[in-house]
Amino acid sequence: MHHRKIQHTPVAVTELGFGAAVIGNLYRVTEAHVASAALDAAWDAGIRYFDTAPHYGLGLSERRLGAALHDRPRDEYVVSSKVGRLLVRNGHPRGVDDEGFVVRDDLRRQWDFSRDGVLRSLEDTLERTGLNRLDIVYLHDPDDHWAQAADEAMPALAELRDQGVIGAIGAGMNRSAMLARFLRETAADVVMLAGRYTLLDQSALDDVLPAAQAHGKSVVSVGVFNSGLLSQDRPAEGMKYDYQDAPPDLVRRALAIAEVCERYGTTLPAAAIAFPRTHPAVVNVTLGMRTAEQVGRNVELHARRVPDGLWDELRAQGLIRADVPTANEERHPRRS
């Protein structure tokens, strides 16, 4: 599996990444052996970029990822985690977390983008994972915390990066306009863009993607299925789009894209994975993977050839924006 460099950093990530939110019991319980098997399958398939966060399962995702990587050669993989949500003791537990993860709520999340909060969060993450370092650190969903995130958290991360403690720094969220500000106005090297450069939403072409190009920075793309509507060969009513029931007009549009994909000998989910990487700023697509079977499917979809003519046809039919760039692998800094 090819690696792509995060520009102007020592960090290179595999084109496909393992998103570890789901192994933190997102929406339902994932048994420890199932999570371990998924991580083993990802490793065996050549995936070497793994993304986690304290938020995911109140630390469960970080613990499981660290355990799976414990005996792997440390210089052979890249791990990212996030800061901004400190885990603190919950003085009033109700038994189960109320933010989508099926875990006990003995801990709770506390927003904190201060310098001290960043340092404490990183120390806690290293303890939970058992790792000796993090390769990438993102500010996690700083939507309502711009001032503290930009003025305190990012400078703290930049200091650690400049000392060689962290390889690359950035922010992750689904608001592309704010991510563009991080690229333009702060020391961020990379942003994790959720759901804003997909077959159904190319709004990142208006802000974060040109900002990344203009400033020589990189983008990791997540949420490429838009919560599910793009994840099946034939989209249907009742599927989710950005965590809500998909509107009928979007279902029809997804179905129209799927029909074009079929004519070009590919599938909607394969095209959904391939699409973000047609942009020269995008270095990686990271997908949530709960089981070894999901890993196998995603790796197979990632490996499928998607003809460049597909994008031309989708542009011609008005199914994607006319200013979507044409795929060109040579635009991407790459190492094998």
Q: Which of 43-47, 52-56, 263-267, 325-329 has the lowest mean pLDDT?
A: 325-329
Q: Do 261 and 267 meet the contact criterion of CB atoms below 8 Å apart? A: yes
CB 302 within 8 A of CB 273: yes
138 flagged as catalytic: no
Q: Are 220 and 17 in contact (CB under 8 A)?
A: yes
Coil, strand or helix at 303: helix
Domain contains 187: yes
> Which residues, listed in sequence order, are joined to residue 14 by a DSSP beta bridge?
3
Q: How many domains does the chain have?
A: 1
**Is residue 246 one of the residues assigned to a domain?**
no
Give me the catalytic one of 49, 56, 77, 138: 56
Q: Write the CATH number for 210.
A: 3.20.20.100
- 113 in any annotated domain: yes
* pLDDT 10s digits, 88-143: 999 999 999 999 999 999 999 999 999 999 999 999 999 999 999 999 999 999 99
Cβ proximity of 122 and 154 under 8 Å: no
Asked, for residue 60, whether it belongs to a domain, the answer is yes
What is the structure's pLDDT at 330? 41
pLDDT at 328: 52
The answer to whether residues 78 and 46 touch, using CB atoms and an 8 Å cutoff, is no
Are 137 and 83 a contacting pair, CB within 8 Å?
A: yes
Q: How many CB atoms lie within 10 A of CB 330?
A: 7
- Distance of alpha carbon 190 from alpha carbon 282, whole angstroms: 10
Residue 186 has a pLDDT of: 98
Distance, in Å, from the CA atom of 104 to the CA atom of 99, rounded to the nearest integer, reads 11
Give pLDDT tens digits for 24-63. 999 999 999 999 999 999 999 999 999 999 999 999 999 9
Q: Is residue 221 part of a domain?
A: yes
Is 77 a member of any domain?
yes
- List the domain range (segments joined by +) for residue 34: 3-234+270-308
Is residue 194 a part of any domain in this protein? yes
